[in-house]
Amino acid sequence: MEVRPNPTADNSSVVQPQRQRQTPATTQKKAPASPIPVDTTSVSKRLQKELMSLMMSGGDLGVSAFPEGESIFTWLGTIEGGKGTMYEGLSYKLSLRFPLDYPFKPPQAKFETMCFHPNVDQFGNICLDILQDKWSSAYDCRTILLSIQSLLGEPNPESPLNSYAAALWNNKEDYRKMVHKQYFAGESLES
Distance CA 111, CA 96 (A): 9
Is 141 assigned a catalytic role?
no
What residues are paired with 96 via a beta bridge?
75, 109
Distance CA 165, CA 160 (A): 8
Q: Give the three-state DSSP class for 166.
A: helix
Half-sphere exposure of 115 (CA within 13 A, CB side): 33
Distance CA 35, CA 134 (A): 25
Nearest to 140, CA basis, from 15, 78, 48: 48
Q: Give the three-state DSSP class for 152.
A: helix
- Catalytic residue, chosen from 65, 127, 144, 165, is 127
CB 155 within 8 A of CB 85: no
- Catalytic site residues? 127
